[in-house]
């Protein structure tokens, strides 16, 4: 087997155990023009470029990705821009290169993130045959999705994305929904979640907050989600999920939170204590510290010249990863939910804390609200997990707690103190307009 001309003679002892790379074969190029998209501006970093990954870069990447793994699994993840713009033949060659270079017979996990609009039967047959996990970007029902997800003529794209999803389902391709949460859909959490669950049949869902800065000291774009709305969104979806769907629908943020409550790594970089194991690969072989830091300051090198293992072990990359932990403001160090939040992604750390600390995460208020809100059911699920019982048992516990709360509220007179402990009269508090159990204080399990 031909070996990499740039493979180090011995594997550095401090090489990360599992190296994740998000490959962007078409760079930032996309067939849509979503109004909140941050990646299109990256075109300016490669002026005049066609943004097509060459076979030389493709083969180097795949070989080095296999060579970089110390465990039994290699993940090949494709993203954009819109990666399907590369054409099906590019991905067929990628699979051929896998066969050529997977000499240790690692288990290969393939993932691709797409807007779904270019999928057809041929694509889906290929994705099914090669067991790709497809992430498809849908922001909710058409009126919420189409608020920002438009094509280059400003036309809505929901129907096209849904046609892609139907084809995935027809060909039994495993998919998850990636929903960005922004100004247009953040006030509709239950509607969005139920739409995915009930109408699209989704079993795996990721919610990603849109946070785009206008510039230093200039706030965020109009499309960005507000911190309090992000917290409310997560709480409302959680309340629906914990009453109905534990064990049948998997929401990435909730899985990660449960891992934190159980005391194991959350598996999602934004909630890890440190980062640095998720590189981004540009179309021309340039490797960056992270998908969220594709900029000249975070360029580690090019994999046609330096092996991925060496790039990932570079001191600046190690420092980048540790800085997530070491750069936390004191406000975070004193926070009761830091074990689950860890200050989220450094990309979003441009806020000012109530104590004047700089570098607070813009979404802090939302995360505090969310992680505190889910504490009781998460503790219950963690206990169940420790006892070897399925976390889904929590649904019965929450139902029981809801019933007890319901009984307490029904026995309360309009002028009595509200059972929630606010000190206000019931008629001015939770009795003001017949709220449902899920809108009452989180059940204490």
CA 248 – CA 237 distance, rounded (Å): 14
Tell me how far, at minimum, the Cβ of 407 lies from ligand SF4, in Å.
34
Instruction: Examine residue 270 and tell whether it contacts ligand SF4 (CB under 6 A).
Output: yes
- Kindly state the number of chain residues that form the binding site for ligand SF4, as judged by CB under 6 A: 22
Query: For the residues of 373-438, what is the DSSP string, one character each?
Result: HTHHHHHHHHHHHHTT--GGGHHHHHHHHHHHHHHHHHT--TTSBPTTSSSSBGGGTTTTTT--GG
**Helix ranges restricted to H, 102-208:** 121-129, 142-145, 158-170, 189-194
CB atoms within 10 A of CB 200: 18
Q: Which of 53, 112, 341, 401 binds ligand SF4 (CB under 6 A)?
A: 341
The window from 52-60, 69-77, 246-254, 362-370 that contacts ligand SF4 (CB under 6 A) reads: 362-370
Q: Which of 32, 225, 345, 374 binds ligand SF4 (CB under 6 A)?
A: 345
CB nearer to ligand SF4: give 196 or 367: 367
Instruction: Examine residue 343 and tell whether it contacts ligand SF4 (CB under 6 A).
Output: yes
Q: Which of 51, 78, 367, 409 binds ligand SF4 (CB under 6 A)?
A: 367
CB nearer to ligand SF4: give 164 or 366: 366
Tell me how far, at minimum, the Cβ of 316 lies from ligand SF4, in Å.
14
Burial class, 142, CB count within 10 angstroms (exposed 0-12 / middle 13-18 / buried 19+): middle
Cα–Cα separations (whole angstroms), residue 349 to 252, 257, 272: 21, 20, 15
Tell me how far, at minimum, the Cβ of 190 lies from ligand SF4, in Å.
23
CB nearer to ligand SF4: give 45 or 95: 45
Q: Note whether 124 and 85 are within 8 A (CB).
A: no
Cα–Cα separations (whole angstroms), residue 120 to 84, 116, 127, 165, 167: 11, 9, 11, 10, 7
Instruction: Examine residue 337 and tell whether it contacts ligand SF4 (CB under 6 A).
Output: yes
CB nearer to ligand SF4: give 161 or 275: 275
CA 313 – CA 301 distance, rounded (Å): 12
Instruction: Examine residue 383 and tell whether it contacts ligand SF4 (CB under 6 A).
Output: no
The window from 108-116, 225-233, 363-371, 396-404 that contacts ligand SF4 (CB under 6 A) reads: 363-371
Q: Which of 135, 140, 189, 346 binds ligand SF4 (CB under 6 A)?
A: 346
Q: Note whether 123 and 115 are within 8 A (CB).
A: no
CB nearer to ligand SF4: give 195 or 230: 230
Instruction: Examine residue 256 and tell whether it contacts ligand SF4 (CB under 6 A).
Output: no
What b/e readout covers 255-287, taking b as 16+ CB neighbours within 10 angstroms? ebbbbbbeeeebeebbbbeebbbbbbbbbbbbb
Question: Residue 354 carries which DSSP code?
Answer: T
Tell me how far, at minimum, the Cβ of 324 lies from ligand SF4, in Å.
6
Q: Which residues have a Cβ under 8 Å from the Cβ of 297 and sit 6 or more positions away?
A: none
The window from 75-83, 116-124, 174-182, 344-352 that contacts ligand SF4 (CB under 6 A) reads: 344-352
CB nearer to ligand SF4: give 368 or 427: 368
Instruction: Examine residue 374 and tell whether it contacts ligand SF4 (CB under 6 A).
Output: no
The sign one gets for the Cα dihedral 379, 339, 333, 360 is: negative
Coil, helix or strand for 111? Answer: strand
CB nearer to ligand SF4: give 298 or 427: 298
Binding mask 285-304 for ligand SF4 (x = CB under 6 A): -----x-x------------
The window from 22-30, 255-263, 336-344, 391-399 that contacts ligand SF4 (CB under 6 A) reads: 336-344
Closest CA to 343 of 292, 252, 273, 267: 273
Q: 291, 295, 336, 357: which is the annotated catalytic residue?
A: 291
CB nearer to ligand SF4: give 165 or 234: 234
What is the separation of C-alpha 48 from the centre of its chain, rounded to a whole number of angstroms? 31
Q: For residue 286, indicate whether it is catalytic.
A: no
**Helix ranges restricted to H, 185-251:** 189-194, 227-244
**Which chain residues interact with ligand SF4 by CB under 6 A?**
269-270, 275, 278, 290, 292, 324, 331-332, 335, 337-338, 341, 343-347, 361, 364, 367-368
Residues acting as catalytic residues:
291
């Amino acid at each position: 087997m031909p070996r990499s001309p740039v493979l180090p003679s011995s594997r550095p002892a401090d090489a990360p155990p599992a190296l994740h790379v998000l490959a962007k074969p078409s760079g930032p190029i996309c067939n849509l023009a979503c109004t909140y998209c941050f990646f299109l501006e990256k075109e300016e970093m490669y002026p005049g470029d066609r943004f097509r990954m060459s076979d030389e870069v493709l083969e180097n990447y795949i070989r080095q990705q296999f060579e970089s793994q110390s465990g039994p699994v290699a993940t090949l993840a494709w993203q954009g821009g819109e990666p399907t713009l590369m054409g099906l033949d590019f991905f067929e060659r990628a699979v051929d290169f896998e066969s050529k270079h997977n000499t240790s017979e690692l288990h290969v996990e393939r993932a691709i993130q797409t807007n779904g609009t270019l999928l057809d039967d041929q694509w889906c047959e290929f994705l099914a045959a090669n067991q790709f996990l497809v992430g498809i970007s849908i922001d909710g029902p058409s009126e919420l999705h189409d608020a920002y997800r438009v094509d280059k003529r400003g036309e809505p794209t929901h129907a096209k994305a849904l046609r892609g999803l139907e084809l995935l389902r027809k060909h039994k391709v495993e998919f998850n929904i990636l929903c960005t949460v922004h100004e247009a859909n953040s006030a509709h959490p239950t509607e969005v979640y139920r739409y995915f669950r009930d109408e699209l049949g989704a079993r795996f869902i990721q919610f990603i907050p849109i946070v785009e800065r206008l510039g230093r000291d200039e706030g965020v774009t109009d499309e960005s989600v507000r911190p309090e709305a992000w917290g409310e969104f997560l709480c409302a979806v959680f309340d629906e999920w914990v009453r109905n769907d534990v064990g049948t629908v998997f929401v990435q943020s909730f899985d990660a939170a449960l891992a934190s409550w159980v005391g194991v790594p959350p598996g999602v970089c934004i909630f890890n204590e440190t980062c640095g194991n998720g590189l981004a690969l540009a179309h021309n072989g340039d490797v960056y510290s992270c998908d969220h830091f594709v900029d000249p300051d975070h360029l580690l090198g090019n994999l046609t010249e330096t092996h991925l293992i060496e790039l990932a072990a570079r001191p600046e990359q190690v420092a980048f990863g540790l800085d997530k932990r070491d750069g936390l403001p004191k406000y975070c160090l004193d926070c009761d939910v830091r074990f689950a939040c860890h200050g989220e992604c450094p990309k979003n750390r441009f806020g000012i804390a109530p104590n004047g600390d700089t570098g607070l995460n813009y979404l802090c208020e939302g995360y505090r609200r969310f992680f505190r809100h889910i504490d009781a059911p998460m503790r219950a699920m963690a206990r169940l997990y420790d006892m070897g019982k399925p976390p889904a048992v929590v649904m019965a516990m929450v139902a029981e707690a809801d019933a007890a709360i319901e009984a307490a509220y029904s026995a309360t007179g309009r002028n009595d103190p509200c059972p929630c402990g606010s000190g206000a009269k019931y008629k001015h508090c939770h009795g003001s307009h017949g709220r449902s159990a899920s809108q009452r204080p989180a059940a204490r399990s």
